[in-house]
Amino acid sequence: MGLFDKLKNIANSITGNAAKVELFVQADVYRNAPICVTIEANVKDAGIEIKRVYLRARATETVRITHTEIVNGNSVSKERTEMKQIHDFNFDFSGAQYLDPNKPYGWVKEISLPEGVQASYNVYPREVRWEMIAGLDTAGNDPDSGWKEVFVN
């Protein structure tokens, strides 16, 4: 491996650009039912050693609270937003392996969100949003798909 390849590997490790990762989730996601998920990765110019291929699913609840304050003798309505993560799940799609350069890879798995999790919801003042991200667990910054919003029924 030449100096340029070593520098490229270091840069990819730092930036997470060793591979392009894409996440595909079926349109209708239901709680306590199988969800078909596909993760695809296209490795760039240098091969990478990964510990695992994973999917993370999380739900965030946002509540908008309106309250009234007295400011200089005048009644003023103000809105405060509270946000918290209410669900967070990890799913492994593959174990440790070496991914060759300039090759596409794909993993397909059925997952299910446990019974009793909160569905997506958006009625003022409360909102619950679900997101998923797929990634390759490797040294440095993991190449990932970026968060993708999904609607959970």
CATH number, residue 123: 2.60.40.640
Element (H, E) at 20: strand 19-25
What is the domain range of residue 61? 3-150
Measured between alpha carbons, how far is 151 from 129 in angstroms, rounded to an integer?
7
Instruction: Report the predicted TM-score, pTM, of the whole model to 2 decimal places.
Output: 0.83
List, for the chain, all residue ranges whose pLDDT scores fall below the cut of 50.
Answer: 3-4, 7, 10-11, 13-15
**Contact between residue 99 and residue 106 where contact means Cβ atoms under 8 Å apart:** no
pLDDT in tens, 64-106: 998 888 888 888 888 899 999 999 999 999 999 999 999 999 9
Contacts of 56 (CB under 8 A, 6+ apart): 88, 89, 90, 91, 132, 133, 135
Determine the distance from the C-alpha atom of residue 138 to the mean position of all C-alpha atoms in its chain, rounded to a whole number.
16
Q: What is the per-residue DSSP string for 62-106?
A: EEEEEEEEEETTEEEEEEEEEEEEEEEEEEEEE-SEEE-TT-EEE
Q: What is the phi-psi region of residue 18: left when phi exceeds 0, alpha when psi lies from -120 to 50, beta otherwise?
A: alpha
Q: How many domains does the chain have?
A: 1
